[in-house]
Amino acid sequence: MIAAVALAGAAIVVPFALHGAHHSGAEASPAAPVAQPSPAPAVHHAGTNSRLGSQADLPPLLPSGRPTLQDGAQVRVGDITEGTLRHTPGGWQVLVRWDGRLQPLPTQGPVALGATSWVSASGALYTRVPTDTPGRFRVFTWDPEGGTAYTPPALVSSELGQVCFDKTFTAFGDCRVTE
């Protein structure tokens, strides 16, 4: 009987309390911290370079610094997760906090994170593979796939296509040069 009265009282009081909290400006905080990607200082200018081609169909590929991986650099993993690059004797890893622990993301795909990989100014990971033409590369992007609440996703490389970079790695295009 007492339990029934307590349950009925809660059914009346809780909605009014929630209504009052909503109008008081109170906000709920997430149960676990949510990593937000750092704002990117770089600006992507879609345009056409007569020597490199158009940038219109390409993501902002330029790095904020050197076009190499740096131990401890922050990278974007999907839309809401941030990871940290770590160089190990076995190669490069991206570590994320997942299920309360710091865990390395497995990598899959036709290329590996390595000497020709870089982090763009927006935090995205890319790898370039040289072609037979100087300044022309096959570029791969790294995106998370799979994962559960307890298992982090894998980073999977997929090809963006051919991209031309200038010698200083400060300009790029789709290699469709117009005369």
Tens digit of each residue's pLDDT (9 = 90 or more) over 115-162: 899 999 999 999 999 999 999 999 999 999 998 888 899 999 999 999
Q: How many residues does the chain have?
A: 179
d(CA 170, CA 92): 24
Q: 3-state SS of the chain: helix, strand, coil percent to 5?
A: 15, 35, 50
Going from N- to C-terminal start, the domains of the chain cover: 48-173
18 conformational bin, left if phi > 0, alpha if psi -120 to 50, beta if neither: alpha
Read off the pLDDT of residues 76-104 as tens digits, 9 standing for 90 and up. Answer: 998 878 999 999 999 999 999 998 899 99
Q: Tokens 């300044």, residue? A: 135
Query: Contact, 122 vs 76, CB < 8 A?
Result: yes
Reported as type and span, the H/E element at residue 178 is none
Stretch (H or E) spanning 75: strand 74-77
Taking the whole predicted model, whether its pTM rises above 0.85 is answered as no
Q: Where are the alpha helices (DSSP H) in the chain?
A: 2-24
